[in-house]
């Protein structure tokens, strides 16, 4: 039975709406109070399967040396696509309802299965490089309409190449790590000179990202057809943005301090193989891209996405955005091909973000900038009273994503964080 087979069942009870059925098996890094050493695990239902235990027992042996006791997944990811596939198949077999090896060994189960409620999740990879693209046509059109000319919202290059920039890898953090409001230079329209102040237009950006699974040589380019085999998996990503800092600093070289303070990712990496059944064609690209960017077939994915916002004292969150990854204009393969066409090398663990994902309807915009139209149309939250144009201190932002199958879903979990105020000694 293939690990993606919808009929596959685990001996572990998994709710139909769980993000982590046996068909998923996302990889992450976790620890527990009893065992504080960070190590590799796979999520299944409400449990984490400790891969380091299975490795020590000889039930998983992807390499001559142990890899699942490491504090990141980089060593495992570096083993390559064939080993990813074989390891996922072995884990799936161990979790099957009709396999007694783990199911009937109470001692082994007590060692290898940990409740997800008891684990602390960690950054799953050591991020060597981080690139943020700008590949949603709807998002780029909204931003261009807002700040330039609605009749010429897209800049001339946008329909010809996946626009992107190199971000700051050191400030990539895992879900659950709260984000402090940044300080920086801002220039209000009424001011003659810039001011040093706390960001007043703090924003989230709903994104996904793919993780590079192999090293390439400096000077070598990855073709569109070679790109997908280099991708290990995907995560959710929130590229926090200080819009007022960005507006002042981004001309002529783009965002800097407006983006460097934090980028949050979800702790579970959903493998590309688990996403395979949810391939869909992307939008028609016109004009036709240059030959090195041309592709045919289904290179996008049907991933439902949502964003919840919950103020500090609110009883429940408000879902402020619902959209889908399938609307992305430039595919991940095109992004990687363009990234390397100059000869730029990539490495295991590099993070490539999609850019803000927005749809065609007002409630499918992937940022507060668009949802409130730069503060001109504040959002009213679920209590009917509270409004938001941008994020305030104490607000909690939660991004979720999933692919819906027949009787199961392949989910990413969530990436969530709370906004903390500026440190008092910095004001």
Whether 132 shows a pLDDT value over 90: the answer reads yes
CA 255 to CA 242: how far, in whole Å?
9
CA 171 to CA 94: how far, in whole Å?
37
Residues 6+ apart with CB under 8 A from 253: none
Give the per-residue pLDDT at 424. 78
Give the per-residue pLDDT at 427. 55
Nearest to 120 by CA among 209, 180, 35: 35
Nearest to 319 by CA among 415, 400, 246: 400
What average pLDDT does this structure show over 172-196? 96
pTM of the predicted structure, to 2 decimals? 0.97
Whether 401 shows a pLDDT value over 70: the answer reads yes
CA 1 to CA 7: how far, in whole Å?
9
pLDDT for 49-106, tens place per residue? Answer: 999 999 999 999 999 899 999 999 999 999 999 999 999 999 999 999 999 999 999 9
Phi, psi for residue 323 in degrees, rounded to 5: -150, -170
CA 399 to CA 380: how far, in whole Å?
19
Residues assigned a catalytic role: 139
**Pairing state between β 195-198 and 202-203:** unpaired
Whether 347 shows a pLDDT value over 90: the answer reads yes
CA dist 407 to 19, 200, 314, 410, Å? 12, 44, 33, 11
Q: Which domains can be identified in the chain, with CATH numbers?
A: 27-122 (2.30.30.230), 130-426 (3.90.850.10)
Nearest to 355 by CA among 248, 237, 276: 237
Average pLDDT, the chain: 97
Give the per-residue pLDDT at 416. 98
Whether 390 shows a pLDDT value over 60: the answer reads yes
Q: What percent of the chain lies above the pLDDT cut of 90?
A: 96
Whether 169 shows a pLDDT value over 90: the answer reads yes
Whether 348 shows a pLDDT value over 70: the answer reads yes
pLDDT for 5-44, tens place per residue? Answer: 999 999 999 999 999 999 999 999 999 999 999 999 999 9
pLDDT for 263-291, tens place per residue? Answer: 999 999 999 999 999 999 999 999 999 99
* DSSP helix, strand, coil percent of the chain (3-state; round to 5): 25, 30, 45
Q: Which residue blocks in 81-127 are alpha helix, DSSP H?
A: 81-95, 100-103, 106-112
Residues 6+ apart with CB under 8 A from 392: 311, 419
Rg of the chain over Cα atoms, rounded to whole angstroms, equals 22
CB pairs under 8 A, 24+ apart, for 18-22? 18/45, 18/46, 18/409, 18/411, 19/43, 19/402, 19/409, 19/410, 19/411, 19/412, 19/413, 20/44, 20/45, 20/268, 20/411, 20/413, 21/45, 21/408, 21/409, 21/410, 22/92, 22/95, 22/96
Nearest to 301 by CA among 220, 393, 208, 394: 208
Nearest to 22 by CA among 109, 102, 92: 92
Give the per-residue pLDDT at 426. 65
Whether 148 shows a pLDDT value over 90: the answer reads no
pLDDT for 403-419, tens place per residue? Answer: 999 999 999 999 999 99
pLDDT band at 425 (very low <50, low <70, confident <90, very high): confident
Determine contact, residues 243/258, Cβ cutoff 8 Å. yes
């Amino acid at each position: 039975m293939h690990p993606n087979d919808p009929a596959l069942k685990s001996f572990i009870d998994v709710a139909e709406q769980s993000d982590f059925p046996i068909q998923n098996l996302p990889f992450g890094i976790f620890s527990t109070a009893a065992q504080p050493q960070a190590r590799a695990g796979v999520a299944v239902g409400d449990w984490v399967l400790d891969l380091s235990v299975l490795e020590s027992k000889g039930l998983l042996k992807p390499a001559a040396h142990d890899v699942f006791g490491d504090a990141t997944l980089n060593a495992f990811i570096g083993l390559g696509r064939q080993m990813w596939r074989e390891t996922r198949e072995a884990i799936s077999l161990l979790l099957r309802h009709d396999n007694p090896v783990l199911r009937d060994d109470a001692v082994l189960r007590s060692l290898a299965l940990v409740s997800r409620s008891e684990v602390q999740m960690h950054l799953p990879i050591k991020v060597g490089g981080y690139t943020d693209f700008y590949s949603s046509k709807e998002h780029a059109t909204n931003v261009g309409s807002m700040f330039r000319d609605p009749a010429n919202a897209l800049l001339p290059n946008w329909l010809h190449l996946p626009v992107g920039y190199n971000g700051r890898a050191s400030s990539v953090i895992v879900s659950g790590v709260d984000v402090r409001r940044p300080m920086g230079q801002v220039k209000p329209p009424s001011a003659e000179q810039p001011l040093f102040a706390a960001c007043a237009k703090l924003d989230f950006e709903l994104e996904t990202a793919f993780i590079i699974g192999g090293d390439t040589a400096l000077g070598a380019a990855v073709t569109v057809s070679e790109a997908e085999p280099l991708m290990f998996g995907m995560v959710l990503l929130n590229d926090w943005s200080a819009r007022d800092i960005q507006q002042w600093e981004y001309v002529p070289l783009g965002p800097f301090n407006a983006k460097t303070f934090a980028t949050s990712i979800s702790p579970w990496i959903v493998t590309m193989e688990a996403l395979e059944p949810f391939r869909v064609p992307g939008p028609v690209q016109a004009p036709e891209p240059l030959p090195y960017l041309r592709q045919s077939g289904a290179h996008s994915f049907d991933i439902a996405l949502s964003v919840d916002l919950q103020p500090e004292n609110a009883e429940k969150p408000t879902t402020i955005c619902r959209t889908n990854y399938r609307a992305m204009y430039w595919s991940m393969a095109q992004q990687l091909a363009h990234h390397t066409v100059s000869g730029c090398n990539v490495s295991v663990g590099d993070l490539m973000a999609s850019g803000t994902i927005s749809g065609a309807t007002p409630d499918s915009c992937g940022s507060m900038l668009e949802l409130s139209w730069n503060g001109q149309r504040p959002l009213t939250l679920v209590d009917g009273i509270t409004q938001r144009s941008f994020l305030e201190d104490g607000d909690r932002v939660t991004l979720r994503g999933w692919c819906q199958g027949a009787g199961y879903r392949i989910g990413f979990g969530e990436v969530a964080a709370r906004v903390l105020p500026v440190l008092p000694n910095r004001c």
